A and B are shown apart, each in its own frame.
Chain A
């Protein structure tokens, strides 16, 4: 058993099954498996998932659309952001 997404406990087998079920993009894998939704926001798992997707679908890795980059770059406490408003 290979863990691909450590934050959400998603295995390689989970990903392959989701692809067999019809997922052809990283976004779909994310929606269906929660891949990349944890604290690291895909930094660990997305490159590996992209390789698995490429291997299973024949798409080139360079053709695989990555998930949209969103703020914050690292997790930030609500309190820190709140004090920004009160300045």
Chain B
């Protein structure tokens, strides 16, 4: 193991790997330490959706810029990332929903996004498999450039490109301690050796809290257990990802024909347990076949679980913490880490190398929770 680096990133998910690439582009000596295999956390378990339809301007701008990067990523990294832009269709169930939807669409359109309100008959044109009565909707919002990408392909593509640029990646290596002296980070101790560094990025997803505890920093993140399932392959039936904030369901058909989707399990569970439940499977199937009755004929192949690393405002925690120089946060993505990764990691790389960031990210620092200065993101699903 190398003895020193400019930056050590803890966590080999999509954010850790994308950040290592962005830093490697800027000539930074960067190391990624991953406890198991790449994507073993949320990245390898997620619904893989990427959308720009968010209710806070912060998330919307980050997402719009991220999608732009996703669109050019295959060319930039030299590897296929499995991008499909079939759109996101977001259910609107009642007048209260519609009021929020109109507010969201107005804000998103002001940012240049191609997004529209759909009537119920238009929903059935966009995705004939859907049953608007079963969905109990009065309309929907639709953005055609939303979609999904392959989280494995994307993360590996970023990692390969970073390594080609000189980044070092240590898998199956566990961080045991973050070393500090006089209010500054000095290194990282792992079970494979100690690395001297002055910058440590905490990109450990649901375990970010535990990493922060090593240096006495409290993160308000809570791990929520989420469940998800996938079906057999079938011929292409529908293009968009379909989601509902009210029912919490999301589902889409992947490139290879499998339908992937999740819904909050009937009982909310926090903590680190990964046991899947039958009640999730029944609840998911019940809601999914209400939304699209013909899907009742398709087989479920597998269900699994993972964690959302959730913050009080469902926005990520980014940037150095005031209390400890060199300790940078890149966590708290609350269920949308994959889709924001390209732009978030670019911004963090700019911040770390002292460039002016292309978007302001000061408002996303950890300290916002002390000052209680935040507006909650409403458009979270799953």
Contacts and interface: CB of A to CB of B under 8 A. Distances in A.
Given A78-B231, A78-B289, A79-B296, A27 B40 contact: yes
B26 to A, nearest CB: 24
Interface string B36-50: 011110001000000
A34 B156 CA distance: 14
B312 interface: no
A14 to B, nearest CB: 15
A78 B296 contact: yes
A76 B299 contact: yes
Nearest to A23: B37
Which of B37, B282, B289, B302 neighbours the largest number of chain A CB atoms within 10 Å of its CB? B302
Contact of A25 (B37, B156, B283): B37
A4 B9 CA distance: 36
A80 B335 CA distance: 29
B37 A85 contact: no
A75 B299 CA distance: 5
B152 A70 contact: no
A81 B300 contact: yes
Interface residues of B, number: 34
B297 A27 contact: no
Given A27-B37, A39-B232, A82 B289 contact: yes
Contacts of A78: 231, 285, 288-289, 295-300
Contacts of B282: 81-82, 84-85
B286 A86 contact: yes
Given A71-B281, A82-B282, A77 B298 contact: yes
Interface in A57-83: 68, 70-72, 75-82
Contacts of B357: none
Nearest to A77: B299
Interface string B339-371: 000000000000000000000000000000000
A55 interface: no
Given A32-B152, A81-B281, A75 B289 contact: no
A12 interface: no
Interface in B297-325: 297-304
Contacts of B1: none
B276 interface: yes
Given A77-B296, A78-B296, A41 B302 contact: yes
A20 interface: no
Given A31-B44, A71-B281, A82 B301 contact: no
A59 B179 CA distance: 34
Which of A68, A71, A76, A82: most chain B Cβ within 10 A?
A82
A41 B302 CA distance: 8
Contact of A82 (B39, B44, B288): B288
Contact of B297 (A32, A68, A79, A85): A79
A82 B285 contact: yes
A71 B276 contact: yes
Q: Which 10 A-B pairs have the closest CB atoms?
A: A79-B296, A75-B299, A81-B285, A85-B286, A82-B285, A85-B282, A31-B152, A84-B282, A82-B289, A82-B286
Given A31-B37, A77-B299, 13 more contacts: A24-B172, A28-B37, A31-B38, A38-B301, A41-B301, A71-B281, A76-B299, A78-B285, A78-B295, A78-B298, A79-B289, A81-B282, A85-B285
